[in-house]
Structure 1
Amino acid sequence: MKQRYLILRHPILNFSSITYFLVFTFLLSPIAATAADITEQLHRPINKSTVRELRDQADTLLETGKQQRISGSLDQAVKSWLNALEIYHAIGELKAQGLIYDFLSAGYLQLGRYPEAEDAMRRRLAIARDVKDFQSQIFALNNIGTLLLQQGEPASSAKTFTEALEIARHIQNLEGQGLSLSNLGLATARLGNYNQAIQLYENALTFRRQTGDLIGEANTFNNLGDAYLAAGNYQGTISTYGAALRIAKSKSDRINELRAIDGLVAAHSAVGRHERAFDLLQQRLALAQELRNLREELKSFEFYAQLHEKLGNYQNARNFYERAILTARTLQDSKQEVSLVDKLTQMMGKASIKGNRH
């Protein structure tokens, strides 16, 4: 089972962006300030005028970090947010600190700095508890649980999602219940309890429909499809992935669209509907090319190769493996290139043995 998204309550990433650590120069309006300038100001006697000035500087740093993230300068964004955090902490702005920790946890994730990401998430949760912000507690717990799941700790993540679900039920937060149930389904499926996971996903869909969260609904349908596929229920698999695909297309949600296609390809291949599987792969490749996403093009070529190999069409499979290898080379992904070359070599060995038998 694959968890595709880390859920953040604030508009930090829409599941696409994230950042963290200390800045030396940054733009403040109307003049530039340095970290030394800020430190000096923090040690001045605090009065209302100083608090307002510092708050303005922190707010500007927060926005600067957002722009740096958008431009791809994640390290600089993290530094800006850390400087903002220092100011918010000095003037006692707890809610603003919580918001900064949301941005920081997301940034650390994208940079692959998982211990720092988890620390930021837990600090965000602590602030939410201090200010009795139950909704933020729900989303912070779901973020922590998702990270634990990605780190291979499904039992711990299940406990965390259950805690989030209990809070969501207590305050009758429909969005939080849908999210927590869907994530709890992921953890339960990872533990191998597919029938229980299916029940959790179906309950999650009820809440996601009530809140009109179509992208969340598509994600849960994909999760449900994964569980049906693992349980060998191909009729349920095709139905739920199909529902996810329809919703994802209507919302231009490319991540869930690609994921639904992958599930449908696996399901149709498993029941011998190879023509339908090839049609879906053609859609997948066209979408990847439309997005100019070489990584998804590479996956499409590999899926084509695997399906042709399964059917014994070794020459076609070889052509697609070679296209995938060239794409991996373009991406400078040596690990993937080596893996693909190994798969091609093994397949050609099988083809040679079969050829000698005839």
Structure 2
Amino acid sequence: MKRWHLISVINRAFIGGSKPTFLLITFLLTPIAATAADITEQLHRPTNKSVVRESRDEADTLLRIGEQQHASGNSEKAIESWLQALEIYHSIGDFKAQGLVYDYLGRGYVQLSRYKEAENAMRRRLAIARDVQDFQAQIFALNNIGTLLMQYGEPIASLQTFAEALEIARHVKNIEGQGLSLSNLGLANARLGNYNKAIKLYENALSFRRQARDPIGEANTFNNLGDAYLAARDYQGTIGTYGIALRIAKATRDRVNELRAIDGLVTAHSTVGRYERAFDLLQQRLTLAQDLQNLREELKSFESYAQLYEQLGNFPTARNFYERAITVAQILKDSKQEVRLLDQLTQMMRKANLSKN
């Protein structure tokens, strides 16, 4: 099967409502090439039940192997395993399992920043969900597509996609879907600069997040709300909202939202001159990154330290942290990050030299 590709992460990657991101071309968005009906017509259905059972077992095993590979950071291998599973599910006519594989493929492609392939997979997932009238799958597929569209820089198209998801969620009274769709609608409005509208959507979303007992989604929406307050320069609202997100994330050991809340609080406190609190938070961030043995988050912590010291005019200390961040980028063999950080360091040193003259 060579016609595939798209996602279902985001909000736990995508779907948690994590920080927004994506888009494409407005609502000319129709399921790609092969429709669900086309796929159904192509299905080859073996008549030997034992052959079908053995094939399904093989595909299920490949699906689990792909999950393990993805969890260990090897998304390329995971995609290979999932594509093999997809071909088997296709051959035995297991339609629902094909939809699940497209979800996984979407996650893998997004992890590799292969967004066009991720979009293809998401749209195929949506086509299957529509064909079998799986409304919950439609809600989450639409939210994933909308998030991807924002990544493309198309907030209007993503807004329309999220609105369709919300309409379905309301029609079937899906609490989790309403919370997710409202939160993502807030993101789209924030991207368009409609911060007051975004704030109202986030506040509405929070009631559904609580009803659904979804603390990760709730923390994510509080972080989104903090972003909107920050953009609107309401620093009191910003600090209070990020603070709530941080407490929820710590209680549930939600490291993604914990790190994001800390970043927002560092920005807000430093903006209003509360540097001591900002440095306390940065120390928490660095400790957490080191405890998780997450070099990328450690790099971000060093960079944040450097930027804060630079902001205070302490160029020698800022240089030290930039150099530590560059060392981590070299360990990660991330040449793009290394070049970017070197450029920041060079610009800062020029500024430092000018200040001496």
Same fold (TM over 0.5): yes
Mapped to 2, the partners of 1:196 and 1:159 lie a distance apart of 15
Mapped to 2, the partners of 1:131 and 1:288 lie a distance apart of 43
Mapped to 1, the partners of 2:133 and 2:13 lie a distance apart of 16
Secondary structure at the aligned position of 2:10 is classed as coil
Counterpart in the other structure of 2:77? 76
Mapped to 1, the partners of 2:352 and 2:331 lie a distance apart of 28
Mapped to 2, the partners of 1:281 and 1:72 lie a distance apart of 26
Deviates more, 1:325-334 or 1:144-153: 325-334
Mapped to 2, the partners of 1:14 and 1:229 lie a distance apart of 18
Q: 1:94-148 CA distances to partner (integer Å, 9 max, x unpaired)?
A: 1111111111111222222222211111111111111111011001111111111
Give the residue type in structure 2 aligned to 1:129. R
Q: CA deviation at 1:198?
A: 0.6
**2:17 and 2:220 in contact (8 A); partners too:** no
**1:226 and 1:263 in contact (8 A); partners too:** yes
**2:82 and 2:105 in contact (8 A); partners too:** yes
Q: CA deviation at 1:285?
A: 1.1
Mapped to 1, the partners of 2:268 and 2:221 lie a distance apart of 17
Give the residue type in structure 1 aligned to 2:244. A
Give the residue type in structure 1 aligned to 2:66. G
Flag the structure with larger Rg.
1
Structure 1: which 5+ runs fail to align?
Answer: 16-41
TM-score by length of 1: 0.85
Question: What are the equivalent positions in structure 2 for 1:1-358 lying under 5 Å apart?
Answer: 6-7=10-11, 46-356=47-357
Secondary structure at the aligned position of 1:46 is classed as coil
Q: 1:149-178 CA distances to partner (integer Å, 9 max, x unpaired)?
A: 112111111111100000000001100000
Q: CA deviation at 1:9?
A: 11
Please list every run of at least 4 consecutive aligned residues from structure 1 whose deviation after the TM superposition is greater than 6 angstroms.
Answer: 8-11
Mapped to 1, the partners of 2:304 and 2:122 lie a distance apart of 36
Mapped to 1, the partners of 2:328 and 2:51 lie a distance apart of 55
Give the residue type in structure 2 aligned to 1:181. L
Mapped to 2, the partners of 1:298 and 1:71 lie a distance apart of 20
Q: 1:241-270 CA distances to partner (integer Å, 9 max, x unpaired)?
A: 000000011011111111101100110111
State the identity %: 73
**1:6 and 1:146 in contact (8 A); partners too:** yes
Q: 1:6-40 CA distances to partner (integer Å, 9 max, x unpaired)?
A: 126999x999xxxxxxxxxxxxxxxxxxxxxxxxx
**2:17 and 2:217 in contact (8 A); partners too:** no
Q: CA deviation at 1:44?
A: 9.1
Q: CA deviation at 1:297?
A: 1.5
Mapped to 1, the partners of 2:174 and 2:205 lie a distance apart of 12
- Structure number with greater CO (CA < 8 Å, separation at least 6) is 2
**1:294 and 1:327 in contact (8 A); partners too:** yes
Secondary structure at the aligned position of 1:292 is classed as coil
Give the residue type in structure 2 aligned to 1:261. I
Mapped to 2, the partners of 1:10 and 1:220 lie a distance apart of 12
Give the residue type in structure 1 aligned to 2:131. D
Closer, same or farther in 2 for the Cα pair 1:152/1:45, shift >3 Å?
A: closer
Mapped to 2, the partners of 1:43 and 1:206 lie a distance apart of 46
User: How large is the RMSD of aligned CA atoms in angstroms?
Assistant: 2.4
Q: 1:277-324 CA distances to partner (integer Å, 9 max, x unpaired)?
A: 111111111111111222111111111111111112222222222222
**1:8 and 1:140 in contact (8 A); partners too:** no
Structure 2: which 5+ runs fail to align?
Answer: 1-8, 19-42
Counterpart in the other structure of 2:34? none
**1:10 and 1:99 in contact (8 A); partners too:** no
Counterpart in the other structure of 2:4? none
Mapped to 1, the partners of 2:57 and 2:348 lie a distance apart of 62
Mapped to 2, the partners of 1:293 and 1:9 lie a distance apart of 17
TM-score by length of 2: 0.85
Closer, same or farther in 2 for the Cα pair 1:354/1:166, shift >3 Å?
A: same
Mapped to 2, the partners of 1:237 and 1:213 lie a distance apart of 22
Closer, same or farther in 2 for the Cα pair 1:267/1:132, shift >3 Å?
A: same
**1:141 and 1:164 in contact (8 A); partners too:** yes
Q: 1:36-73 CA distances to partner (integer Å, 9 max, x unpaired)?
A: xxxxxx98962434333333333233233333434544
Mapped to 1, the partners of 2:14 and 2:321 lie a distance apart of 41
- Aligned pair count reads 325
Closer, same or farther in 2 for the Cα pair 1:43/1:186, shift >3 Å?
A: closer
Closer, same or farther in 2 for the Cα pair 1:115/1:239, shift >3 Å?
A: same
Counterpart in the other structure of 2:38? none
Q: CA deviation at 1:230?
A: 0.5
Secondary structure at the aligned position of 1:7 is classed as helix
**2:156 and 2:188 in contact (8 A); partners too:** yes
Deviates more, 1:312-321 or 1:65-74: 65-74
Mapped to 2, the partners of 1:270 and 1:166 lie a distance apart of 39
Closer, same or farther in 2 for the Cα pair 1:330/1:73, shift >3 Å?
A: closer
Mapped to 1, the partners of 2:276 and 2:14 lie a distance apart of 43
